[in-house]
Amino acid sequence: MRKLAIAGCIISITVLLLSAHSGALTQEELSNIKVFETSSPSVVNITTTTLVRDLFSVYPKDGAGSGTIIKKEGFVLTNYHVVKDAKKIQVTLTNGDKYEAELVGASAENDLAVIKIKSDKEFIPLVFGDSDALVVGQKVYAIGNPFGLNSTLTTGIISAVGRPLTSQGGLVIENVVQTDAPINPGNSGGPLIDSGGKMIGINTAIFSPSGGSVGIGFAIPVNTAKGIIDDLISFGKVRRPSLGVTGVPLWEEFASSFGLPLTKGILVSTVEKGGPADKAGLRGGSERVRVSGTTIYIGGDIITEIAGVKVTSTEDIRRSLSDKKDGDLIDVKVFRKGEFKILKIRVKLKT
Protein backbone atom coordinates (compact mmCIF):
# COMPACT_ATOMS: atom_id res chain seq x y z
CA MET A 1 0.00 0.00 0.00
CA ARG A 2 2.85 2.40 0.86
CA LYS A 3 4.47 1.90 -2.55
CA LEU A 4 1.14 2.51 -4.26
CA ALA A 5 0.55 5.61 -2.15
CA ILE A 6 4.00 6.99 -2.99
CA ALA A 7 3.49 6.23 -6.67
CA GLY A 8 0.09 7.88 -6.56
CA CYS A 9 1.64 10.96 -4.92
CA ILE A 10 4.30 11.19 -7.62
CA ILE A 11 1.68 10.83 -10.36
CA SER A 12 -0.43 13.57 -8.75
CA ILE A 13 2.53 15.97 -8.51
CA THR A 14 3.50 15.30 -12.14
CA VAL A 15 -0.03 15.99 -13.29
CA LEU A 16 -0.07 19.26 -11.36
CA LEU A 17 3.27 20.34 -12.89
CA LEU A 18 2.12 19.51 -16.39
CA SER A 19 -1.13 21.34 -15.77
CA ALA A 20 0.71 24.43 -14.54
CA HIS A 21 3.07 24.35 -17.52
CA SER A 22 0.27 24.06 -20.03
CA GLY A 23 -1.78 26.77 -18.34
CA ALA A 24 -1.65 30.56 -18.63
CA LEU A 25 1.74 32.24 -18.76
CA THR A 26 2.85 34.34 -15.83
CA GLN A 27 2.87 38.12 -16.05
CA GLU A 28 6.66 38.11 -16.08
CA GLU A 29 6.71 35.63 -18.96
CA LEU A 30 4.22 37.73 -20.89
CA SER A 31 6.40 40.80 -20.34
CA ASN A 32 9.47 38.94 -21.60
CA ILE A 33 7.59 37.78 -24.70
CA LYS A 34 6.29 41.27 -25.43
CA VAL A 35 9.74 42.84 -25.19
CA PHE A 36 11.20 40.24 -27.52
CA GLU A 37 8.39 40.38 -30.09
CA THR A 38 8.43 44.18 -30.29
CA SER A 39 12.22 44.65 -30.16
CA SER A 40 13.73 41.75 -32.09
CA PRO A 41 12.72 42.99 -35.59
CA SER A 42 15.02 45.97 -34.97
CA VAL A 43 18.03 43.82 -34.00
CA VAL A 44 20.25 42.53 -36.79
CA ASN A 45 23.03 40.02 -37.19
CA ILE A 46 26.20 41.56 -38.64
CA THR A 47 28.79 39.47 -40.44
CA THR A 48 32.03 40.97 -41.69
CA THR A 49 35.00 40.03 -43.83
CA THR A 50 38.39 41.55 -43.14
CA LEU A 51 41.70 40.95 -44.88
CA VAL A 52 44.45 39.55 -42.69
CA ARG A 53 48.10 39.62 -43.68
CA ASP A 54 50.70 37.15 -42.46
CA LEU A 55 54.29 36.52 -43.52
CA PHE A 56 53.27 34.71 -46.69
CA SER A 57 49.86 35.93 -47.88
CA VAL A 58 46.71 37.97 -47.40
CA TYR A 59 43.55 36.04 -46.60
CA PRO A 60 39.95 36.85 -45.63
CA LYS A 61 38.73 36.42 -42.06
CA ASP A 62 35.07 36.37 -41.04
CA GLY A 63 33.66 38.11 -37.99
CA ALA A 64 30.22 38.50 -36.44
CA GLY A 65 28.30 40.75 -34.10
CA SER A 66 24.96 42.42 -33.60
CA GLY A 67 23.43 45.81 -34.27
CA THR A 68 20.29 47.86 -33.80
CA ILE A 69 18.28 49.64 -36.48
CA ILE A 70 18.01 53.25 -35.28
CA LYS A 71 16.39 54.94 -38.29
CA LYS A 72 13.80 53.74 -40.79
CA GLU A 73 16.21 54.51 -43.64
CA GLY A 74 18.33 51.54 -42.53
CA PHE A 75 20.96 53.12 -40.30
CA VAL A 76 22.29 50.55 -37.80
CA LEU A 77 24.16 51.27 -34.56
CA THR A 78 26.81 48.79 -33.48
CA ASN A 79 30.25 48.59 -31.86
CA TYR A 80 33.24 49.95 -33.73
CA HIS A 81 35.20 46.79 -33.00
CA VAL A 82 32.52 44.73 -34.79
CA VAL A 83 33.07 46.49 -38.14
CA LYS A 84 36.63 47.78 -37.77
CA ASP A 85 38.70 47.26 -40.96
CA ALA A 86 35.82 45.31 -42.57
CA LYS A 87 36.04 45.03 -46.36
CA LYS A 88 32.56 43.54 -46.55
CA ILE A 89 29.58 43.97 -44.20
CA GLN A 90 26.38 41.95 -44.40
CA VAL A 91 23.26 42.44 -42.28
CA THR A 92 20.67 39.73 -41.62
CA LEU A 93 17.24 40.59 -40.24
CA THR A 94 15.25 38.36 -37.90
CA ASN A 95 13.09 37.24 -40.83
CA GLY A 96 16.17 36.00 -42.66
CA ASP A 97 16.45 38.80 -45.21
CA LYS A 98 20.06 39.65 -46.02
CA TYR A 99 21.48 42.98 -47.17
CA GLU A 100 24.87 44.44 -47.92
CA ALA A 101 25.83 47.38 -45.70
CA GLU A 102 28.49 50.06 -45.60
CA LEU A 103 30.28 51.91 -42.84
CA VAL A 104 28.95 55.46 -42.44
CA GLY A 105 30.83 56.74 -39.41
CA ALA A 106 32.78 55.55 -36.38
CA SER A 107 34.08 56.70 -33.01
CA ALA A 108 36.91 54.50 -31.78
CA GLU A 109 37.05 56.25 -28.40
CA ASN A 110 33.40 55.37 -27.74
CA ASP A 111 33.61 51.98 -29.53
CA LEU A 112 30.54 52.93 -31.56
CA ALA A 113 29.84 52.89 -35.29
CA VAL A 114 26.92 53.46 -37.65
CA ILE A 115 26.46 51.37 -40.78
CA LYS A 116 23.85 51.81 -43.52
CA ILE A 117 21.85 48.98 -45.09
CA LYS A 118 22.02 49.24 -48.88
CA SER A 119 18.30 49.26 -49.61
CA ASP A 120 15.50 51.71 -50.35
CA LYS A 121 13.12 49.83 -48.05
CA GLU A 122 11.93 51.21 -44.74
CA PHE A 123 13.01 49.35 -41.60
CA ILE A 124 11.76 49.23 -38.01
CA PRO A 125 13.92 51.33 -35.65
CA LEU A 126 14.18 50.64 -31.93
CA VAL A 127 13.08 53.44 -29.63
CA PHE A 128 15.75 55.05 -27.43
CA GLY A 129 15.38 55.17 -23.66
CA ASP A 130 17.18 57.31 -21.09
CA SER A 131 20.32 55.72 -19.66
CA ASP A 132 20.74 58.56 -17.15
CA ALA A 133 17.60 57.32 -15.39
CA LEU A 134 18.88 53.76 -14.85
CA VAL A 135 18.96 52.37 -11.31
CA VAL A 136 20.71 49.33 -9.94
CA GLY A 137 18.34 46.39 -9.70
CA GLN A 138 16.00 47.21 -12.57
CA LYS A 139 15.30 44.48 -15.10
CA VAL A 140 16.98 44.55 -18.51
CA TYR A 141 17.10 42.38 -21.61
CA ALA A 142 19.85 41.68 -24.12
CA ILE A 143 19.00 40.67 -27.68
CA GLY A 144 21.72 39.58 -30.07
CA ASN A 145 23.39 36.76 -31.91
CA PRO A 146 25.77 34.98 -29.53
CA PHE A 147 27.99 32.42 -31.26
CA GLY A 148 25.96 33.02 -34.45
CA LEU A 149 22.65 31.97 -32.85
CA ASN A 150 20.25 34.56 -34.25
CA SER A 151 17.69 36.47 -32.21
CA THR A 152 18.63 35.27 -28.74
CA LEU A 153 17.03 36.87 -25.67
CA THR A 154 18.65 36.90 -22.24
CA THR A 155 17.51 38.70 -19.12
CA GLY A 156 19.11 40.19 -16.03
CA ILE A 157 19.36 43.35 -14.00
CA ILE A 158 21.42 46.52 -13.89
CA SER A 159 24.32 45.55 -11.63
CA ALA A 160 26.04 48.94 -11.53
CA VAL A 161 26.20 52.26 -13.36
CA GLY A 162 29.02 54.72 -13.94
CA ARG A 163 31.72 52.12 -14.54
CA PRO A 164 34.85 53.02 -16.54
CA LEU A 165 35.73 50.51 -19.27
CA THR A 166 38.95 50.22 -21.25
CA SER A 167 38.15 49.54 -24.91
CA GLN A 168 40.06 47.13 -27.14
CA GLY A 169 42.02 50.12 -28.43
CA GLY A 170 43.14 51.03 -24.91
CA LEU A 171 40.82 54.04 -24.57
CA VAL A 172 38.73 54.55 -21.43
CA ILE A 173 34.96 54.75 -21.95
CA GLU A 174 33.22 56.51 -19.08
CA ASN A 175 29.86 55.82 -17.37
CA VAL A 176 29.45 52.28 -18.71
CA VAL A 177 26.47 50.19 -17.54
CA GLN A 178 27.19 46.83 -15.86
CA THR A 179 24.65 44.00 -16.15
CA ASP A 180 24.38 40.32 -15.28
CA ALA A 181 22.26 39.59 -18.38
CA PRO A 182 24.29 36.91 -20.20
CA ILE A 183 26.38 38.46 -22.98
CA ASN A 184 28.57 36.29 -25.17
CA PRO A 185 30.70 36.63 -28.33
CA GLY A 186 28.34 37.76 -31.07
CA ASN A 187 26.26 39.92 -28.71
CA SER A 188 28.63 42.86 -29.23
CA GLY A 189 26.82 45.82 -30.75
CA GLY A 190 23.35 44.56 -29.83
CA PRO A 191 20.95 46.46 -27.59
CA LEU A 192 20.44 46.37 -23.86
CA ILE A 193 16.71 47.00 -23.40
CA ASP A 194 14.56 48.09 -20.46
CA SER A 195 11.23 46.51 -19.51
CA GLY A 196 9.43 49.09 -21.65
CA GLY A 197 11.17 47.82 -24.78
CA LYS A 198 13.45 50.86 -25.14
CA MET A 199 17.18 50.64 -25.83
CA ILE A 200 19.21 51.91 -22.89
CA GLY A 201 22.64 50.56 -23.83
CA ILE A 202 24.85 48.94 -26.47
CA ASN A 203 26.31 45.62 -25.31
CA THR A 204 30.05 45.89 -25.68
CA ALA A 205 32.19 43.65 -23.50
CA ILE A 206 32.29 41.04 -20.77
CA PHE A 207 34.66 40.24 -17.96
CA SER A 208 35.38 36.54 -18.21
CA PRO A 209 38.42 34.41 -17.37
CA SER A 210 36.93 31.62 -19.52
CA GLY A 211 35.74 33.69 -22.51
CA GLY A 212 32.08 32.92 -21.79
CA SER A 213 29.52 34.85 -19.77
CA VAL A 214 30.03 34.82 -15.99
CA GLY A 215 27.43 37.48 -15.26
CA ILE A 216 29.61 40.56 -15.67
CA GLY A 217 28.74 42.36 -18.88
CA PHE A 218 29.14 45.97 -19.93
CA ALA A 219 27.05 48.22 -22.17
CA ILE A 220 27.76 51.72 -23.45
CA PRO A 221 24.91 53.96 -22.22
CA VAL A 222 22.51 54.94 -25.00
CA ASN A 223 22.76 58.61 -24.03
CA THR A 224 26.41 58.51 -25.08
CA ALA A 225 25.31 57.18 -28.47
CA LYS A 226 22.52 59.74 -28.80
CA GLY A 227 25.06 62.52 -28.44
CA ILE A 228 27.18 61.40 -31.41
CA ILE A 229 24.88 59.57 -33.85
CA ASP A 230 24.03 62.66 -35.90
CA ASP A 231 27.73 63.51 -36.27
CA LEU A 232 28.57 59.96 -37.33
CA ILE A 233 25.87 60.02 -40.00
CA SER A 234 26.58 63.57 -41.25
CA PHE A 235 30.36 63.81 -40.90
CA GLY A 236 31.60 60.23 -40.50
CA LYS A 237 33.21 61.07 -37.18
CA VAL A 238 32.43 62.91 -33.97
CA ARG A 239 32.82 66.65 -33.77
CA ARG A 240 34.63 67.70 -30.61
CA PRO A 241 34.71 71.00 -28.76
CA SER A 242 37.88 72.84 -29.76
CA LEU A 243 39.72 75.98 -28.70
CA GLY A 244 41.97 75.95 -31.78
CA VAL A 245 45.29 75.54 -29.97
CA THR A 246 48.19 73.13 -29.93
CA GLY A 247 49.58 72.74 -26.44
CA VAL A 248 52.24 70.86 -24.52
CA PRO A 249 51.69 69.57 -20.95
CA LEU A 250 54.37 70.95 -18.64
CA TRP A 251 56.52 68.97 -16.25
CA GLU A 252 59.25 70.10 -13.88
CA GLU A 253 62.31 69.09 -15.90
CA PHE A 254 60.91 70.58 -19.11
CA ALA A 255 60.00 73.87 -17.40
CA SER A 256 63.39 74.06 -15.72
CA SER A 257 65.29 73.39 -18.97
CA PHE A 258 63.65 76.30 -20.78
CA GLY A 259 63.24 78.67 -17.83
CA LEU A 260 59.45 78.58 -17.85
CA PRO A 261 57.63 80.27 -14.94
CA LEU A 262 55.29 77.37 -14.15
CA THR A 263 55.81 73.63 -13.84
CA LYS A 264 52.17 72.61 -14.32
CA GLY A 265 49.69 73.58 -17.01
CA ILE A 266 49.47 73.51 -20.81
CA LEU A 267 52.04 75.55 -22.70
CA VAL A 268 50.38 77.01 -25.81
CA SER A 269 52.66 76.21 -28.73
CA THR A 270 50.55 77.39 -31.69
CA VAL A 271 47.17 79.06 -32.12
CA GLU A 272 44.96 78.34 -35.14
CA LYS A 273 44.59 81.54 -37.15
CA GLY A 274 41.00 82.75 -37.02
CA GLY A 275 40.08 80.05 -34.50
CA PRO A 276 38.28 80.54 -31.18
CA ALA A 277 41.46 81.07 -29.12
CA ASP A 278 42.94 83.45 -31.71
CA LYS A 279 39.79 85.57 -31.67
CA ALA A 280 39.94 85.72 -27.87
CA GLY A 281 43.57 86.87 -27.86
CA LEU A 282 45.32 83.69 -26.69
CA ARG A 283 48.99 83.77 -27.63
CA GLY A 284 51.20 80.97 -28.92
CA GLY A 285 54.97 80.68 -28.68
CA SER A 286 57.56 82.35 -30.92
CA GLU A 287 60.81 80.53 -30.09
CA ARG A 288 61.21 77.24 -31.90
CA VAL A 289 62.73 74.32 -29.95
CA ARG A 290 62.98 70.53 -30.34
CA VAL A 291 61.73 68.27 -27.56
CA SER A 292 62.00 64.47 -27.95
CA GLY A 293 62.17 64.89 -31.72
CA THR A 294 59.11 67.17 -31.86
CA THR A 295 59.14 70.83 -32.81
CA ILE A 296 57.29 73.14 -30.43
CA TYR A 297 57.24 76.87 -29.75
CA ILE A 298 57.87 78.36 -26.31
CA GLY A 299 57.19 81.84 -24.98
CA GLY A 300 53.40 81.70 -25.30
CA ASP A 301 50.60 81.62 -22.75
CA ILE A 302 50.31 78.80 -20.22
CA ILE A 303 46.76 77.53 -19.71
CA THR A 304 46.05 76.51 -16.11
CA GLU A 305 42.24 76.22 -16.06
CA ILE A 306 39.49 75.67 -18.61
CA ALA A 307 35.87 76.25 -17.56
CA GLY A 308 36.89 75.98 -13.91
CA VAL A 309 38.81 72.71 -14.39
CA LYS A 310 42.55 72.69 -13.62
CA VAL A 311 44.42 71.33 -16.63
CA THR A 312 47.80 69.60 -16.55
CA SER A 313 47.30 67.07 -19.38
CA THR A 314 45.53 66.64 -22.70
CA GLU A 315 43.04 64.37 -20.92
CA ASP A 316 42.20 67.27 -18.59
CA ILE A 317 41.49 69.46 -21.63
CA ARG A 318 39.19 66.81 -23.13
CA ARG A 319 37.38 66.40 -19.82
CA SER A 320 36.92 70.14 -19.33
CA LEU A 321 35.34 70.49 -22.78
CA SER A 322 33.41 67.21 -22.91
CA ASP A 323 29.98 68.69 -22.17
CA LYS A 324 30.41 71.92 -24.13
CA LYS A 325 28.28 72.75 -27.18
CA ASP A 326 29.05 74.72 -30.30
CA GLY A 327 29.18 78.41 -29.41
CA ASP A 328 29.45 78.02 -25.62
CA LEU A 329 31.42 80.84 -24.01
CA ILE A 330 33.90 79.60 -21.41
CA ASP A 331 36.55 81.07 -19.12
CA VAL A 332 40.15 80.07 -19.81
CA LYS A 333 42.72 81.02 -17.17
CA VAL A 334 46.22 81.68 -18.53
CA PHE A 335 49.56 82.81 -17.14
CA ARG A 336 51.19 85.57 -19.21
CA LYS A 337 54.17 87.76 -18.39
CA GLY A 338 54.06 87.22 -14.65
CA GLU A 339 50.33 87.40 -14.07
CA PHE A 340 47.15 85.37 -14.50
CA LYS A 341 44.44 86.46 -16.94
CA ILE A 342 40.95 85.19 -17.71
CA LEU A 343 40.08 85.00 -21.40
CA LYS A 344 36.57 84.44 -22.72
CA ILE A 345 36.69 81.86 -25.53
CA ARG A 346 33.75 80.68 -27.62
CA VAL A 347 33.95 76.92 -28.21
CA LYS A 348 33.75 75.57 -31.76
CA LEU A 349 32.93 71.99 -32.74
CA LYS A 350 35.41 70.38 -35.15
CA THR A 351 35.82 66.93 -36.67
What would the pLDDT profile of 20-34 be if each residue is shown by its tens digit?
A: 455 688 999 999 999
Question: Would you list the DSSP string of 57-88?
Answer: -EEEEEEEEEEEE-STT-EEEE-HHHHTTEEE
Say yes or no to pLDDT of 257 above 80.
yes
Predicted confidence (pLDDT) per residue in 132-181, tens digit: 999 999 999 999 887 767 788 999 999 999 888 876 666 678 789 999 98
Assess contact for 335 and 304: CB atoms under 8 A: yes
Q: Max CA-CA distance within the chain?
A: 105
- Of 111, 194, 231, 301, the catalytic one is 111
Question: Looking at 39, 42, 81, 231, which residue is catalytic?
Answer: 81
**Catalytic residue from among 42, 131, 159, 188:** 188
Counting residues of the chain whose pLDDT is more than 70, the rounded percentage is 86
The pLDDT value given to residue 8: 37
188 is catalytic: yes
Question: If we measure between CA atoms, which residue out of 255, 272, 274, 241 comes closest to residue 335?
Answer: 255
What average pLDDT does the segment 109-132 reach? Answer: 95
**What tens digit of pLDDT does each residue of 225-240 get?**
998 999 999 999 998 8
Q: pLDDT at position 77, please?
A: 98
Domains, the chain, in order of start with CATH, read 40-117 (2.40.10.10), 131-235 (2.40.10.10), 240-350 (2.30.42.10)
Tens digit of each residue's pLDDT (9 = 90 or more) over 278-306: 999 999 999 999 887 889 999 999 999 99
Mean pLDDT computed over every residue of the chain:
87
Distance CA 64, CA 61 (A): 10
pTM of this prediction?
0.78
81 classed as catalytic: yes
